[in-house]
Amino acid sequence: MLDLKRFTDNDNKDYAFIKEFVDNHYQNKDGEYFTFLYKDEERVLYKAGNIFSIFYFDEAKGYVDFTMFEYDQDAQQIYVNLGNYLLHISRTTEALEDENGIIHYINIVKGKEDCLGFVYYSQVDTKNDKALVLFYDHHYMAKSGEKQRIYGMRLHDPTKIAIRNKASKKINRPYMPTNSKLYAKVEYKDVFGSPLYNFLKDETNNKYYRIVACTKNGHLLYLPIITTGYSKNEMMDIIKREGFGIEVPEELLSLYNGDLIDVSYYWEIVDEVLLLDKGMTFKMGGSK
């Protein structure tokens, strides 16, 4: 628990400089102020409508800094501005939206063989209603209940590539699977069923060939003898022509691996504010 509390008279005095900052720089000055504990440090929260501002002392910078996020109650989404990216946080998944409006998502799924898995990386272009899906082989050593880290050095040669249109209705499924069960359900049929382009890498010559069919069981069929093979560079050119990037953003890897931001922190704040609004109280205690 964050031990979220509304401002007291003492808080109004101690944090008068924050209230002055809000009065001078915010359009909505009629919000509520709270204090809470995060890792044994007291922080200040200002909530105005669906916009939340967190004020905290940044030891590296040597002054009080702040971060802002938006909560969409209808969509059950939190949006955090990270500079070059807008972070989308749902209850189960996280994704990054870049400056061009393309949503990036990554996940790793355990394969059928021990120690083997594959990474699933998607880019969804909501403006042009199309998506890119890349698959990479990756080791899978995590035990049950653990999260397998994804390493960028493993993400250079995709084994399967799909570029499809009419993607806006499928942003959450299959482009953002939340677990291996869901993924197994949508594995290849949904991803490769009706794309703009479909390619499978032939490991014998390192060329990519068009997938000509996807069976009901999810088997991918291609004809390397009678169809044109594309080199990796040619495939990358095709991807770039469609308006997608060819590298997995470092920020996305850091987000997935838990190094970029503590996403549960934002949901804790939202949940405790909602409980306070309902008139419920919290047990005394600090941060978890």
Domains contained in the chain, number: 2
Q: Is residue 123 part of a domain?
A: yes
List of residues 6+ apart from 123 with CB closer than 8 A: 102, 103, 104, 131, 132, 244, 245
121-171 residue pLDDT tens = 999 888 888 889 899 999 988 888 888 999 999 999 999 998 887 655 544
Is position 89 within any domain?
no
Residue ranges in the chain whose pLDDT is less than 70 = 166-196, 218, 280-288
Whether 118 and 68 map to the same domain: the answer is no
Q: Which amino acid is at 271?
A: D
Distances (CA, A) of 188 to 20, 81, 174, 198, 266: 55, 33, 9, 11, 34
Q: What is the pLDDT of residue 201?
A: 93
Same domain, 227 and 124: yes
Residue at 228 is within a domain: yes
Residue 86, domain member (yes or no): no
Domain that holds residue 17: 5-80+261-277
Which residues is 109 bridged to in the sheet?
Answer: 118
210/115 same-domain check: yes
Q: Which residues of 169-183 are buried (b: 16+ CB within 10 A; e: fewer)?
A: ebbbebbbbeeeebb
pLDDT at 280: 55
**151 and 214 inside one domain:** yes
Residue 94 is assigned to a structural domain of this protein: no
